[in-house]
Amino acid sequence: MDVSQYLGIFLDETNEHLQTLSDQLMILENEPENEDTINEIFRAAHSLKGMAGTMGYKRMQTLTHDMENVFSEVRNGKIKVDGHMVDILFQALDALEEYRENISENQDEGTNDNEPIINALQAILNGESASGSDAGPAPEAAGAAESEPAATEEKKDAAPAAGDKWLDIVLHEPEQHVISEAIKNNSKVYGFTVYIQETCILKAARAFLVFKALEELGEVIISEPSVQDIEDEKFDFDFSLYFVTDSPIDKVKEAILAVSEIDHVNGDVIDMDHAKIAKEDDEDEPAPAPAEAQTEAPVASSAPAASSAPPATKDTKGADNKKTGANKPAVNRTVRVDIEKLDVLMNLVSELIIAKNSLVSFSTSDSSHSGFNEQIEYLESVTTNLHESVMKVRMVPIESVVNKFPRMIRDLSKKLNKQMELHMTGEETELDRTVVDEIGDPLMHLLRNSADHGLESLEVRRERGKSDVGQIYLDAYQDGNNVVIEVRDDGNGIDTEAVKKKAIERGTITPEQGETMSEKEIIDLLFLPSFSTAKVVSDVSGRGVGLDVVRSKIGALGGDVSVKTKLGEGSTWTIRLPLTLAIIQALMVVVGNEKYAISLGSIQTIEDVAEEDIKYVEAREVINLRDTVIPIIRLHEVLGVESVKEPNANMVVIIVKKGDQLAGLVVDELIGQQEIVIKSLGKYINCSSRLISGATILGDGEVALIVDANVLI
Amino acid sequence: MDALNIAREYETVQYIVIKIGEEQYGIDISFIDNIVRMQSITRVPHVQPYFAGVINIRGEVVPVMSIRLKMGLDVDEYTNKTRIIIVKTESNAPIGLIVDEVKEVVTLDERSIDEVIHDSKVDETYINGIGKNGDTLISLLDLNAVISDKDNS
């Protein structure tokens, strides 16, 4: 089956499932008994396995299968979740992520079997979580393949020894591992070949019953042909299997023979020596040795999917895990779209068609020109809306970027040996897809920075009377016409003296310069390329490539980074991204004959104020609103237009807020609330007062300016 | 054969001829994105005086400047012939120029373009050549000079 057309969906969904797994694992680590979480994980692992299987990614499937097994045992209450297990599971997640990346690069999952992880998972399954067969950081170890299907298929044609076909089953490392574990645990391992009566019609069903009977007694490690093939009736009248159990062999044989239409069963106890002999026997056959089979198998299994890029597949063969020459991702980037947004698009398109049709009818009949113009205007407004909606489709919540951070902080916590917690808010803040894609790295740098440089060691924290657990906050929110992302920690803050000393040491500044530098200027030094104050270069940070990258990246997006810090109390890094392309809720108002938009975010209330309620304080107009004195700003004066309002009528006052300051903006008329797409005015226009932060295009195609109320206060 | 040689030797450039007041100006056609009729311009407060405001060109907000005001001439009088020329220079951001009239497209080769002798006259800072098209003279606008903001101070 050619599955390449599903690749995009597969990758998307894999991403989602991996994210779910990661999130839930984080929860699980803290609440090992949380059943909902375990179920959720199980479901995600299960879907992942199914998807990988369908797509023919055997390695991924095997790995998820083992993970699923572990979760299933956890769910049944047979294994308890502990730190070691979560570690292994996270490693498995990383391995899956690696597969996913390989697949998105060249449609091939790569040749990394991640055997240590699989073994570790098996060990957990066998109740050895504490013995700690750590999967280690280098899972590339070239081991035997567990890709049974490929290996066993080749095996099928081999002439089996009469009666004891089970001796020919090729055992790979995972199975060997399970067997040796089982033997260690005083379980018995048997090999069986079951013969079904040749008159049997539903042999697959019989075989299934045999498996079912066996599963009540123990565990089938491997079967020949594979379970899948047996289910598909792809076998003659016999099948062989290895079986781990505590029951005596006679009892097992009895259980097998209890299934009707079973002719007879051969079997014996085996140990690892037998198994190995079986493997060596295998070598004189055309089937390649396991090590070779490993490289062969992926090529075969991924051939249909990779048919569009045959050279790439060839490269992968043998080149362990390396990216292939073609660096182009095999799949285009996608945006998941809220169905409602699509509905809006659909509606607009139908309106467009209606508008076009009426234009066509106008061109055929000789109607008055005024109607024609009306239609043109209608068309114009529809197309403008259409454009706006398509822009909206590009907006994605930053969630997709930030939700990988809890995991990162967890890992950092272990690596740096510091306790820390990440608190996130505002994940739903929307930004343009291109911006969202780019802010991941800078944010990661800042978080690492906080974790490594910011948070103090445990001793220092205790000394300072702070809680043991370092707190890192990631807050995203919209502030007027900006999206602000703050990374905050309650750590040490920036030691400006140390920075200064370092800068002088490095020759970045002279001691004299250092004397006269303000705190802000010193902090700015941190953003210079190759400036790091970390005393020890760790692999977390300290190579001095962090902050300058952050600044240049954010700068490229048209934003800026600033930092507020207090020595001993922590620092706050603030990324401010302009809302170009972004969409905000705004209040549309009329001043003079012009329309303006004011971001709803900064508006507190709207008041109806009588002219005589205006008082004067220091020659400035104020109103006393519910015991708060609020200065009044007449927007038409600021904007330089004639007010069209009658002088004695009540005034519409919009109360806006900046921080804890309030101000009242007097406008002529309210139009209403509207979602607007913010456009930049371009770099040519130099709005000296910064009063106008952008413009938006209204439904009728007209341009309205956006007033930044923050500037007025 | 001769004709070919000439064509090779002398590069030709196409200009759109516009009218501002009584004078004819040429704008290199390769910079021109679009020419639109006069439409309602949204005034932007507190900006350089020669900016008339912004308009909507296919969903983009494009600033519009008055060449007249930039050159120190009288305020534009919008007529039926007034056009906004949307130009894109190297910086790639579009900007609109209000002109009194768009006349024609001419092709000039190097031989018919004269250098400008710079003197202290303000106008001539915006011109980087004079083209001769038959009897008429066309002042070739130096778009970068027109658009740049150097006299804002």
Q: Per residue in A661-676, pLDDT tens?
A: 889 999 998 998 887 8
Are A418 and A472 spatial neighbours (Cβ–Cβ below 8 Å)? no
Quote the tokens at residue A595: 């329309």
Nearest residue of chain A to residue B147 (CA atoms) = A684
Does residue A388 contact residue A512 with C-beta atoms inside 8 Å? no
Is-contact A264 A209, C-beta < 8 A?
no
Q: Which chain B residues are closer than 8 Å to A678 by Cβ? A: none
| Residue of chain A whose Cα is closest to the Cα of B42 | A703
**B149 touching A, CB under 8 A?**
yes
pLDDT band for position A655 (cuts 50, 70, 90): very high
Taking a C-beta distance cutoff of 8 angstroms, is the pair A640, A695 a contact?
no
Neighbours of A30 (CB within 10 A): 9
What H or E segment, with its residue span, contains residue A312?
Answer: helix A310-316
Quote the percentage of chain B above a pLDDT of 90. 14
Please write the tens of the pLDDT for every residue from A311-323: 333 333 333 333 3
Which is more confident, A560 or A486? A486
Q: Where are the beta strands (DSSP E) in A136-261?
A: 188-196, 218-224, 238-245
Which segment of A60-74, A264-278, B75-89 scores lowest on mean pLDDT?
Answer: A264-278
- Residue A686: which of B48, B95, B147 has the nearest Cβ? B48
Q: The sheet that has A560-566: what strands, in order across it?
A: A420-425, A470-479, A482-489, A570-578, A560-566
Q: Chain B: nearest CA to A635, how far in angstroms?
A: 11
Contacts of B143 in chain A (CB under 8 A): none
Look at residue A704 in the predicted model and tell me its pLDDT.
92
Q: Say yes or no for a CB contact (<8 Å) between A702 and B43.
A: no
pLDDT tens digits for range A219-236: 777 777 777 777 777 777
Among partner residues A682, A683, A687, which is closest to B46 by beta-carbon distance? A687
Residues of chain B in contact with residue A680, where contact means CB-CB under 8 angstroms, are 61
The encoded tokens of residue B45 equal 């407060």
Q: Which residues of A268-294 are buried (b: 16+ CB within 10 A; e: fewer)?
A: eebeeebbeebbeebeeeebbebeebb
Cβ within 8 Å, pair A695-B42: yes
For the cut 70, the answer to whether the pLDDT of residue A539 exceeds it is no
Is residue B143 within 8 angstroms of chain A, CB to CB? no
Query: CB burial class (10 A; 0-12, 13-18, 19+) of residue A439?
Result: buried
Sheet hosting strand A583-591, strand order edge to edge: A669-677, A583-591, A594-599, A703-707, A692-697
- The alpha-helical segments, DSSP class H, found in A107-139 are 115-125
CA-to-CA distance for A468 and A73, rounded, in angstroms? 34
Chain B environment of A389 (Cβ under 8 Å)? none
Most confident of A12-16, A296-300, A380-384, A610-614: A610-614
Q: Are A313 and A303 in contact (CB under 8 A)?
A: yes
Q: What is the mean pLDDT of chain A?
A: 74
CA dihedral A64, A70, A74, A79 (to 10 degrees): -160
Provide the b/e sequence for B95-116 (b: ≥16 CB within 10 Å).
bbbbbbebbeebebeeebbeeb
Contacts of A703 in chain B (CB under 8 A): 42, 53-56, 61
- Calpha distance A606→A449 (Å, rounded): 43
* Per-residue pLDDT, A162: 52
A702 to B149: CB separation less than 8 angstroms, yes or no: no
Residue with tokens 């037998």: A274
Dihedral angle over CA of A396, A398, A404, A409, nearest 10: 180
Q: Is the pLDDT of residue A133 over 60?
A: no
| A2: helix, strand or coil | coil
Does A325 score more than 60 pLDDT? no
What part of A 569-628 touches B (C-beta under 8 Å)? 594
Distance, in Å, from the CA atom of A178 to the CA atom of A613, rounded to the nearest integer, reads 85
> Where is average pLDDT lowest: A70-74, A293-297, A637-641, B14-18?
A293-297
A533 vs A292, more confident? A533
B45 reaches A (C-beta below 8 A): yes
Q: A58-75 and A115-125 helices cross at what angle (nearest 10)?
A: 20
Would you state the pLDDT for residue A367? 55
pLDDT value, residue A579: 61
pLDDT at B16: 92
Percent of chain B whose pLDDT exceeds 70: 84
- Interface check A682 vs B, CB under 8 A: yes
pLDDT at A284 exceeding the cut of 60: no
Alpha-carbon span B46 to A690, nearest angstrom = 8
Instruction: Evaluate whether A564 touches A572 at the Cβ level (below 8 Å).
Output: yes
Tokens of A578: 């302009």
pLDDT at A130: 42
Res. A178 pLDDT band, cuts 50 70 90 = confident
Q: Do A702 and B42 touch (CB under 8 A)?
A: yes
List of chain A residues whose C-beta atoms are within 8 Å of the C-beta of residue B40: 702
| Backbone dihedral region for residue B107 (phi beyond 0: left; psi -120 to 50: alpha; all else: beta) | beta
**CB-CB contact of A212 with A206 (8 Å):** no
Distance (Å) from the C-alpha of residue B134 to the closest C-alpha of chain A?
36
- The whole-angstrom distance between A389's CA and the closest CA on chain B is 12
Q: What is the pLDDT of residue B121?
A: 52
Distance from CA of B125 to the nearest CA of A (A): 19
Q: What token pair was written down for A390?
A: 């398509």
pLDDT tens-digit series, residues A445-461: 888 888 888 888 888 88
**A288, A276 Cβ separation under 8 angstroms:** no
Residue spans per domain, chain B = 2-144
* Interchain CB contact of B54 with A (< 8 Å): yes
Q: Whole-prediction pTM value? A: 0.45
Closest CA to B83 of B106, B108, B107, B55: B55
Residues of B within 8 A of A704 (CB-CB) are 42
B59 touches chain A (CB under 8 A): yes
Q: Which pLDDT value is given to residue A335?
A: 67
Whether B62 contacts chain A with CB within 8 A: yes
The shortest C-alpha distance from B97 to chain A (Å) reads: 12
Q: Are A686 and B59 within 8 A, CB to CB?
A: no
Cα distance between residue B121 and residue B139, in whole Å? 14
Query: Higher pLDDT residue, A699 or A158?
Result: A699
Bridge-based pairing of strands A615-617 and A620-625 is antiparallel
| Cross-chain residue pair A697–B62, CB shorter than 8 Å | no
Span of A48-57, A268-277, A334-343 with lowest mean pLDDT? A268-277
Element (H, E) at A216: helix A203-217
Q: How far is B19 from chain A (nearest CA, A)?
A: 23
Rounded CA-CA distance A563/A548 in Å is: 13
In B, which residues are within 8 Å of A682 by CB distance? 54, 61-63, 93-95
pLDDT of res. A665: 92
* Residue of chain A minimizing CA distance to B59: A384
Residues of B with CB below 8 A from A686's CB? 47-48, 149, 152
Interface test with B, best of A382, A588, A697 (most B CBs within 10 A): A697
Asked if B48 reaches chain A (Cβ–Cβ under 8 Å), the answer is yes
Shortest Cα–Cα distance, A229 to chain B (Å): 59
Per the DSSP assignment, residues forming a β-bridge with B127 are: B141
C-alpha to C-alpha distance for A218 and A179, rounded to whole angstroms: 12
Scan for tokens 């272990």, then name that residue: A414
3-class SS at A663? Answer: strand
Confidence of residue A590 (pLDDT cuts 50, 70, 90): very high
Considering only CB atoms, B61 lies closest to which of A388, A681, A683, namely A681
* Residue at token pair 């996608």: A334
Distance in angstroms (rounded) separating the CA atoms of residues A176 and A274: 11
* In the predicted structure, residue A702 carries a pLDDT above the cut 50: yes
Q: Is 80 exceeded by the pLDDT of residue A528?
A: no
Local structure of A422: helix, strand or coil: strand
Q: Hey, is the C-beta of A701 within 8 angstroms of any chain B C-beta?
A: yes
Judging contacts by C-beta atoms under 8 Å, the chain B residues touching residue A594 are: 42-43
Distance CA A471, CA A488 (A): 8
Cβ neighbours of A683 in B, within 8 Å: 91, 93
Mean pLDDT of A629-649: 85
Separation of alpha carbons A382 and B128, rounded Å:
43
Catalytic residue numbers of A read: 46, 68, 449
At A158 the pLDDT is 40
Record the tokens describing residue A394, joined without a space. Answer: 């590009």
Q: Is the ipTM of this complex over 0.95?
A: no
The 10s digit of each residue's pLDDT in B97-153 is 999 999 989 988 888 888 776 655 554 577 888 888 888 888 888 888 888 765 443
Q: Is the minimum CB–CB distance between A691 and chain B shorter than 8 Å? A: yes
pLDDT for residue A542: 43
Which residue reads 């995972």 in tokens?
Answer: A174
Instruction: Mark yes or no for CB contact A697/B59 under 8 Å.
Output: yes
Q: How far apart, in Å, are the Cα atoms of A207 and each of A157, A231, A456?
A: 20, 8, 62
Q: CB contact, 8 Å: B147 with chain A?
A: yes
A253 phi/psi in degrees, rounded to 5: -60, -40
Looking at per-residue pLDDT, the higher value among A549 and A544 belongs to A549
pLDDT tens for each residue of A471-518? 899 999 887 667 889 998 888 888 888 888 877 887 777 888 777 887
From B56, B95, B152, residue closest to A701, measured CB to CB: B56
Between chain A and chain B, the number of residue pairs with CB atoms below 8 A apart is 82
In angstroms, what CA-CA distances link A341 with A345, A391, A678, A692, A696? 6, 10, 18, 29, 19
Amino acid at the residue A114 = N
Minimal Cα–Cα distance from A387 to chain B, Å? 7
Q: How confident is the model at residue A304 (pLDDT cuts 50, 70, 90)?
A: very low
Which amino acid makes up residue A309?
A
Identify the band that residue B84 occupies on the pLDDT scale cut at 50, 70 and 90.
very high
Read off the DSSP letter of residue A531: -
Distance of CA A702 to the CA centre of its chain: 39
**Is the CATH number of domain B2-144 3.40.50.150?**
no
What's residue A659's pLDDT? 63
Query: In this complex, is the C-beta atom of A380 within 8 Å of any C-beta atom belonging to chain B?
Result: no
Quick check: A426 and A475 in contact, CB under 8 A? yes
Q: What is the pLDDT of residue A531?
A: 65
Residue A589: pLDDT band (50, 70, 90) is very high
At a CB cut-off of 8 Å and minimum separation 6, what does B13 contact? B28, B29, B30, B107, B108, B109, B113
pLDDT at A582 over 80: no
Mode of pairing for the β-strands spanning A651-658 and A669-677 = unpaired
Greater confidence (A338 vs A531) lies with A338
**Cross-strand partners of A482:** A479, A578
- The more confident residue out of A141 and A570 is A570
For the residues of A228-255, what is the DSSP string, one character each?
A: HHHHTT-S-SEEEEEEEESS-HHHHHHH
The nearest CA of chain A is from the CA of B59 a distance in Å of 6
